[in-house]
């Protein structure tokens, strides 16, 4: 079983859900400054997605754990991140498949699903480990309505 330690994020919501998952993916960073990482190579990524909210759905779920796995693992496992043109590309550093950008992309994918549920649940943190010694934490922040209930209604 996956065992990781990651920091928690303060929030005002009643429920907090965490989903751990792994996915194997290849990538290259399209910059000479990335050194050997500019060559195609692979990682077993570990992701922890934190979702918070006040409302449960008619199954008693904040969101189904298995749906979060499908959104992330189902999309990226055994793929090359560079091939996911909707999210990553060579033309803009904010679209390079770095750990930073990948963590943000995971958060955006999950948030888009939550927005469709209409329960005002929020993806408040994504922890993404690329190697045993390297990880990034992405938090969308208060401007995206995270950590407060003021945005997105009531
Ligand atoms: N800020 C970032 N730096 C680097 C990224 C990144 O996404 N964001 N990515 C890479 C490479 O893709 C590489 O796969 C990971 O680098 P690194 O942690 O240096 O990997 P090592 O196994 O060589 O690390 P050790 O220090 O030997 O444990 C590079 N940088
Ligand atoms: Zn890499």
**What residues line ligand 1, using a CB cutoff of 6 Å?**
29, 37, 98-100, 130-131, 133-134
Residue 126, both tokens: 């994504």
The mean of the pLDDT values for the chain is 91
Residue 47, both tokens: 């992701």
**Residue 3, pLDDT score:** 62
Residue 130, both tokens: 């690329």
From atom 11 of ligand 1, which residue's Cα is the shortest distance away? 37
Q: 53 pairs with which residues across the strands? A: 15
Ramachandran angles phi, psi of 83, nearest 5°: -80, -10
Within 21-151, where are the H helices? 65-76, 99-117
Could you tell me the pLDDT band of residue 150, with boundaries at 50, 70 and 90?
very low
Going by the DSSP 8-state scheme, the letter that residue 133 receives in this structure is T
Interval 33-89: pLDDT, tens: 999 999 999 999 999 999 999 999 999 999 999 999 999 999 999 999 999 999 999
- In angstroms, the Cα distances linking 133 to 36, 46, 86, 129, 136 are 16, 12, 28, 8, 11
| Nearest of 56, 64, 49, 62 to residue 18 by alpha carbon | 49
The mean per-residue pLDDT over the stretch 17-29 comes to 97
Catalytic residue, from 11, 16, 37, 151: name it.
Answer: 37
Interval 108-131: pLDDT, tens: 999 999 999 999 999 999 999 999
Sorted by sequence, the CB contacts under 8 Å of residue 86 that are 6+ apart come out as none
The DSSP H or E segment spanning 17 is: strand 15-27
| Nearest of 147, 130, 137 to residue 43 by alpha carbon | 130
Q: Answer with the residue of higher pLDDT: 143 or 28.
A: 28
Residue 68, both tokens: 């979060």
Listed by start position, the domains of the chain span: 15-144
**Is the domain covering 15-144 a CATH 3.30.70.1890 domain?**
no
Helix %, strand %, coil % of the chain (to 5): 30, 30, 40
Distance 134 CA to ligand 1 centre (A): 6
């Amino acid at each position: 079983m996956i065992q990781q330690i990651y920091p928690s994020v303060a929030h005002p919501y009643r429920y907090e859900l965490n989903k751990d998952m792994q996915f194997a993916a290849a990538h290259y960073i399209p910059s000479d400054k990335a050194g050997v990482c500019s060559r195609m190579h692979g990682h077993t990524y570990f992701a922890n997605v934190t979702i918070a909210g006040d409302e449960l759905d008619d199954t008693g779920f904040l969101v189904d754990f298995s749906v979060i796995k499908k959104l992330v693992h189902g999309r990226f496992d055994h793929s090359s991140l560079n091939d996911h043109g909707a999210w990553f590309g060579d033309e803009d550093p904010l679209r390079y498949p770095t750990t930073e950008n990948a963590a943000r992309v995971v958060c955006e994918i999950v948030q888009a699903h939550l927005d469709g549920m209409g329960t005002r649940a929020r993806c408040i943190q994504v922890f993404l480990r690329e190697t045993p010694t390297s990880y990034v934490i992405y938090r969308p922040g208060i401007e995206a309505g995270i950590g407060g209930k003021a945005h997105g209604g009531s």
